[in-house]
Amino acid sequence: MKKSLLLPLLFATGSTAFGQLYFGAGVGYFFPEADTSFTQALGGPNMDPEDGVGGIVNVGYKIPSNGWHFEFEFQYFEPDSNASMQASGAQSAAATGTNLGTGTYNIKNNSDNYTYAVNVYYDVLDSMETNWGIYFGGGLGTTNLNQHVTVRGPNGSVSDSNDKWLFTYQFLGGISYRPVENIRFDLAYRYTVPEDSNFTLFDQNVKVDSYEFQSIEFSASVLF
């Protein structure tokens, strides 16, 4: 009888005595930017990555009796880009190793961004008797950026791909709301900056400078 009463009591008080674990998932809208792209190897302008929708997943822990949270977060989105330009066969051969003729070229970059980060943030309303939270923090991690570039010219097309792991840091802030004890909704902003890197595409050294992205994210979490 004592054991049967003790287990529910431990479960009920565990969130306050030992902190809270939580699992969340949601969607985000991402605004990527970059200062360089493969089009410059063909003598064209920079090809800006497109804004788009992505997904997020996080697992975290809230320290009891204060507003500190520690979490592991995963983000995925596709910063694709495309452009049309005029180029010669000689420029094509120099950039891709293949002479695709002189005329209009279409360049498409199908990209995948996978970001893994460990975040720390503080909820400034945690000590108050309210279901709302306002938090600020940051994180460190890594981004796997995969680029698959297709160059289509008057006489055909060629493709190549390369990926890199990039050291990444980010800043974050958001608002949370808990309608019930074990459910939380978040509306958050993140500014994420992977390091600059060089990609090898068509045996060319393609530098990616100032690649970064901002995101607005909405998620729901279950607290245990």
Domain CATH number, residue 49: 2.40.160.20
CA distance between the termini of the chain: 25
Q: Which domain holds residue 203?
A: 23-223
The predicted model gives 104-124 an average pLDDT of: 96
Alpha helix positions (H), the chain: 2-17, 89-96
Residues 6 or more apart in contact with residue 195 via CB below 8 angstroms: 166, 167, 168
Does 183 fall in a domain? Answer: yes
The predicted model gives 3-9 an average pLDDT of: 41
Does 113 fall in a domain? Answer: yes
User: Is the pLDDT confidence value at 203 over 50?
Assistant: yes
The tens digit of pLDDT for each residue in 79-107 reads 999 999 999 999 999 999 999 999 999 99
Does 186 fall in a domain? Answer: yes
Does 143 fall in a domain? Answer: yes
Cα gap 182→151, rounded to integer Å:
51
Does 14 fall in a domain? Answer: no
The predicted model gives 48-74 an average pLDDT of: 94
Residues 6 or more apart in contact with residue 22 via CB below 8 angstroms: 59, 60, 61, 62, 71, 184, 221, 222, 223, 224
pLDDT at 18: 56
Does 1 fall in a domain? Answer: no
- Please choose, from the candidates 70, 145, 79, 80, the residue with its C-alpha nearest in 3D space to the C-alpha of residue 115: 145
Burial of residue 205 (number of CB atoms within 10 Å: 0-12, 13-18, 19+):
exposed
Cα gap 165→59, rounded to integer Å:
22
pLDDT at 105: 95
CA quadruple 188, 112, 207, 99: dihedral sign: negative
> What string of H, E and C letters represents the secondary structure of 181-203?
CCEEEEEEEEEEEECCEEEEECC
Radius of gyration of the chain (CA): 23
Does 12 fall in a domain? Answer: no
Poorest-pLDDT segment among 12-16, 25-29, 136-140? 12-16
Is the pTM above the cut of 0.75? yes
The tens digit of pLDDT for each residue in 140-199 reads 999 999 999 999 999 999 999 999 999 999 999 999 999 998 999 999 999 999 999 989
Residues 6 or more apart in contact with residue 2 via CB below 8 angstroms: none
Number of domains in the chain: 1
Does 140 fall in a domain? Answer: yes
